[in-house]
């Protein structure tokens, strides 16, 4: 009989894959419709499109890992399979974290209109060179994740030629020397920068609402719905960011009900981000609804 841990991981893996494929297909197709009609995408839509592709691939990798863990753990003894899946997972996760930062930076520089040179520079490059920026970010995360992870796993081959104690020390040093800088660049840095953007955007909006509320000139209060949606999007993405990182830490702790919950949240996190993207983009929602409404209307006519 399958244990509760294996059963929950299997359900989360299948459910995540079942949610991710249609959700991110709609996101990608919706953005392609926008390109066909308008000729180009806004910076937020470009990031949403990149997130859609990355999260779909990440969900596939994580679901495959979960299913292998449940049905045939021996497959992970094949070095090529283990290294490929883990390297792909690290690369896609790191890149997704940096996409969250670039989205947060775009919202922050657009809403706050800060006059500091750094924010003006960020706003300029996000507006004019976003596609190049995303490509360079992907290249940087590839360099950070792929060579280092292959080097760490190659070190395990030494264990057959040296004593186990010395091999363990060598392997531990190698893992530590790789994971600390990789985690700093791929996880800690984008999280801190995204959190800074969230704090700056929140403080600016609070000050703005307070000034408008206490304004005696009789001017009407502006519509802040778009700004609130942007703030909510950053918050939800950072919350999922936190869940993902905590689940990675809990993975190395003894198994408990809490660890099972966080592992399953990690398996579902790429799919859940689709809901965050849908609530953040009215244009994307309208495009998808119009597309499916037209298709269903044509089917009823025929």
At residue 166 the predicted structure's pLDDT band, cuts being 50, 70 and 90, is: very low
Average pLDDT over residues 273-295: 77
> With contact defined as beta carbons under 8 Å apart, do 197 and 106 qualify?
no
pLDDT at 7: 84
pTM: 0.85
pLDDT (0 to 100) of residue 148: 65
Task: State the pLDDT at residue 269.
Answer: 87
Residue 4 confidence (pLDDT) above 90: no
Question: Looking at per-residue confidence, does 238 or 289 come out higher?
Answer: 238
Mean pLDDT over the full length of the chain: 79
pLDDT given for residue 162 in this prediction: 45
90: CATH: 1.20.1070.10
| Two tokens, residue 158 | 């030494």
Summarised one tens digit per residue, pLDDT across range 109-144 is 888 876 667 777 777 887 788 889 999 999 999 988
Position 101 confidence tier, pLDDT thresholds 50, 70, 90: very high
Residue length of the chain: 302
* pLDDT tens-digit map of 16-47: 999 999 889 888 888 888 888 877 888 888 99
Q: For residues 101 and 287, which has the higher predicted lDDT (pLDDT)? A: 101
Q: Report pLDDT for 36.
A: 83
Closest listed residue to residue 238, CA positions, set 297, 184, 192: 192
pLDDT score of 9: 83
pLDDT score, position 161 = 42
What single string gives the DSSP state of each residue in the chain? ---HHHHHHHHHHHHHHHHHHHHHHHHHHHHHHHHHHHSS--HHHHHHHHHHHHHHHHHHHHHHHHHHHHH-GGGGGSHHHHHHHHHHHHHHHHHHHHHHHHHHHHHHHHHH---SHHHHHHHHHHHHSHHHHHHHHHHHHHHHHHHHHHHHHHGGGGGGTS-HHHHHHHHHHHHHHHHHHHHIIIIIHHHHHHHHHHHHHHHHHHHHHHHHHT--S-PPPPP-HHHHHHHHHHHHHHHHHHHHHHHHHHTTSPP-HHHHHHHHHHHHHHHHHHHHHHHH-HHHHHHHHHHHHHHHHHHHH-
Mean per-residue pLDDT, 223-252? 81
**Contact indicator for 106, 64 with CB cutoff of 8 Å:** no
Q: Which domain holds residue 149?
A: 4-301
CA of 147: how far to CAs of 89, 152, 156, 167, in Å? Answer: 14, 9, 15, 21
The larger pLDDT score, comparing residue 188 to residue 300, is at 188
The total of structural domains in the chain comes to 1
**Residue 36 and residue 291 in contact, taking contact as beta carbons nearer than 8 Å:** no
Burial class (CB in 10 A: 0-12, 13-18, 19+), 180: exposed
Is pLDDT above 70 for 164? no
Question: Residues of the chain with pLDDT > 70: what percent?
Answer: 77
- Asked whether the predicted pLDDT for residue 99 surpasses 90, the reply is yes
Residue 86 tokens read as 């883990």
Percent of the chain with pLDDT over 90: 19
Structure confidence at residue 227 (pLDDT): 83
pLDDT tens-digit map of 176-224:
667 778 888 888 899 999 999 899 888 888 887 787 777 654 444 556 7
- Read off the pLDDT band of 167 (50, 70, 90): very low
User: 133: Cβ–Cβ under 8 A, 6 or more apart, which residues?
Assistant: 102, 125, 126
pLDDT for 220 equals 46
């Amino acid at each position: 009989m399958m244990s509760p841990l294996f059963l929950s991981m299997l359900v989360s893996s299948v459910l995540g894959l079942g949610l991710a494929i249609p959700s991110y297909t709609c996101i990608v197709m919706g953005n392609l419709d926008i390109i066909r009609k308008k000729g180009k995408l806004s910076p937020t839509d470009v990031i949403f499109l990149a997130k859609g592709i990355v999260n779909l691939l990440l969900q596939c990798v994580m679901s495959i890992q979960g299913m292998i863990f449940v049905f045939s753990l021996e497959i992970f003894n094949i070095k090529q399979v283990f290294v490929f899946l883990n390297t792909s997972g690290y690369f896609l996760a790191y890149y997704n974290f940096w996409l969250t930062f670039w989205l947060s930076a775009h919202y922050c520089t657009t809403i706050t209109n800060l006059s500091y040179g750094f924010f003006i520079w960020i706003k300029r490059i996000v507006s004019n060179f976003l596609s190049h920026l995303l490509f360079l970010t992907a290249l940087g995360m590839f360099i950070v994740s792929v060579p280092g992870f292959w080097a760490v796993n190659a070190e395990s081959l030494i264990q057959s030629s040296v004593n186990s104690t010395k091999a363990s020390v060598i392997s531990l040093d190698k893992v530590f020397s790789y994971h600390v800088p990789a985690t700093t660049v791929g996880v800690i840095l984008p999280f801190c920068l995204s959190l800074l953007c969230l704090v700056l955007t929140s403080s600016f909006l609070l000050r703005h609402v307070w000034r408008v509320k206490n304004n005696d000139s009789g001017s009407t209060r502006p519509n802040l719905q778009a700004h609130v949606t942007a703030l909510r999007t950053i918050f939800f993405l950072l919350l999922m960011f936190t869940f993902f990182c905590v689940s990675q830490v809990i993975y190395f702790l003894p198994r408990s009900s809490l660890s099972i919950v966080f592992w399953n949240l990690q398996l579902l996190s790429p799919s859940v981000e689709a809901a965050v993207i849908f609530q953040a983009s009215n244009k994307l929602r309208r495009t998808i609804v119009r597309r499916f409404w037209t298709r269903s209307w044509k089917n009823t006519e025929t």
